Structure 1
């Protein structure tokens, strides 16, 4: 197996477990994550022994989302020379690579079950939205937090979640950036079921994966392919639109303030500039 930096991968009885392992705190998503994610799922997609995948996080949390300190370079040039085309174009290229990384999860022919414990924030929510099925432990919490850091969510939540939780719930989470617990997540359909603790949700995810793996693999893959056709083109168009939108409008005093507030561990003061 490949020696990954941001993931561990184990396969047994036709079920692969992909575990986020950092190296950022709370499995935050830094450069290693974005580089390796499509490679991991590309390998699993091509492996005939794998019929279903369980996606989870190491430690107490699924993921804190984007590792802002580690990814500062992606935003830095854009903010430093925000009036010019070159840094905007470079940002657009990097953003579309990040979008493609998460899309690799959705495009994987093998069904993906996300087992979520602890925090699932921002990019973490983008990631589980690309999974086929989501399960949670009772202490899990979810947040589409981009609005709180002066960013329009651009990796897939705004395009994949309408079919999962509906427009009203999605708009509430998007506009407020508020946190929701596992009970609310189950109520709105973000997760199928809630289990007592981290061990229980992982066990349930593997049991579900084994049920899927017991069926004819090409039929399961065919069913996923048919289901994806309903939304695939819409999601792809939406991702291209938001990447262009953010490349044009993301640079702002509010974004600079949000990033500074993170580093200074204080509440941001937004002014709409």
Structure 2
């Protein structure tokens, strides 16, 4: 189950909605070692134990996140006396572990919604593109910062960003390190909508989360799985997989409840997803 507290996050679950807030405003919510360890732990605990039907991620302070904490770059690494090729292989393993911290957002069975404000910088772009839907405040700005510190973004920006925005924009952001504002982010499809204040933003995102949470969780997770599958496969492959999915998990009792609830003008009652066994059999 979830821990009582975390260093980098504040987590609440209410009405089947898990709200994960980045909670280091004094450090502009930079992604320190605790962040990389805690995020996958939180998300996988919620997912594996079916603790919520939707996950909302927001932040505190002036900025959503200024990206990677500099302490991560200066953390001790393998002994310099090692062969440089061996060191390179070890570093690749470190990068893969960091990447896995965001993969959990894409792999979660429930939708992950992002409410962004202020700066969404560097690693924060990797983070939000691993989720399902993004919204922001009018003061938000987005920046692929890595090029400005002489490195190539490596935690997920490149395979994911161009799924949401045109390739030309992805390349302009990656090559130049320029900022785009909230209006441009909406225009090119990075966010769905823009709000005047953080309060209005969170109210809308939470209302959307409540609406999703009221739907049949099996149908919602099926939609997420199949949309993501279709993104990476041909139409023919996806149609075949959709057929297999519905052949296995088409739920007549859930549909009967949906029809009955509509006829009776009440909210439907659906079963939650079942917990996932994560230990060896």
Which is further off, 214-223 or 49-58?
A: 49-58
Query: Does structure 2 conserve the Cα–Cα contact (< 8 Å) formed by 1:30 and 1:66?
Result: yes
> What is the total number of aligned residue pairs between the two structures?
232
Instruction: State the shift of 1:162 in Å.
Output: 1.1
**8 A contact 1:81–1:87 mirrored in 2:** no
Deviation of 1:24 (Å): 6.8
- Post-superposition shift, 1:59? 1.3
Runs of 4+ that moved beyond 3 A: 80-83
Name 1:238's counterpart in structure 2: none
From 54, 69, 72, the equivalent of 2:71 is 69
Q: CA deviation at 1:205?
A: 0.8
1:37 maps to 39
Match of 1:228 in 2: 228
Query: Which residue number corresponds to residue 27 of structure 2?
Result: 25
Task: Please tell me whether residue 178 in structure 1 is matched to residue 153 in structure 2.
Answer: no
Please give the alpha-carbon distance, in whole angstroms, between the structure 2 residues aligned to 1:77 and 1:145: 26
Alignment match, 2:123: 123
* Equivalent-residue separation in structure 2 for 1:47 and 1:176 (angstroms): 42
For residues 28-63 of structure 1, the C-alpha deviation after alignment (integer angstroms, 9 at most, x for no partner) is 001111111111110111233411111011112110
Per the normalisation by structure 2, the TM-score is 0.78
Aligned match of 1:266 = none
Q: Distance in 2 between matches of 1:7 and 1:120?
A: 17
2:96 aligned residue: 96
Contact kept, 8 Å, 2:25 with 2:61, in 1: the verdict is no
User: C-alpha distance in 2, partners of 1:136/1:60?
Assistant: 13
Cα distance change on mapping 1:232 and 1:96 into 2, 3 Å: farther
Runs of 5+ consecutive residues of structure 1 not aligned to the other structure: 234-273
What residue in structure 1 maps to residue 133 of structure 2? 133
1:215 alignment counterpart:
215
CA RMSD of aligned residues (A): 2.0
Distance 1:169 1:82 in 2: 40
For 1:184 and 1:230, the matched residues in 2 are separated by 27
Question: Whose radius of gyration is greater, 1 or 2?
Answer: 2
Q: CA deviation at 1:91?
A: 1.0
**TM-score under structure 1 length normalisation:** 0.80
What displacement does 1:71 show? 3.3
Provide Cα deviations, 1:68-101, integer angstroms capped at 9, x if missing partner.
2343126x669x6797123212211110000011
**Which residue of structure 2 aligns with residue 60 of structure 1?**
62
Partner Cα distance (1:97, 1:231) in 2:
24
Residue 109 (1) aligns with residue 109 (2)? yes
2:145 is aligned with 1:145: yes
CA distance, structure 1, for counterparts of residue 82 and residue 7 of structure 2: 32
CA offsets per residue over residues 158-211 of structure 1, 9 Å max, x none?
Answer: 101111012111111111110111111111110000001111111111011111
Deviations 1:121-149 (A, max 9, x none): 01001000011000000101110111111
Task: Give 1:19 shift.
Answer: 0.6
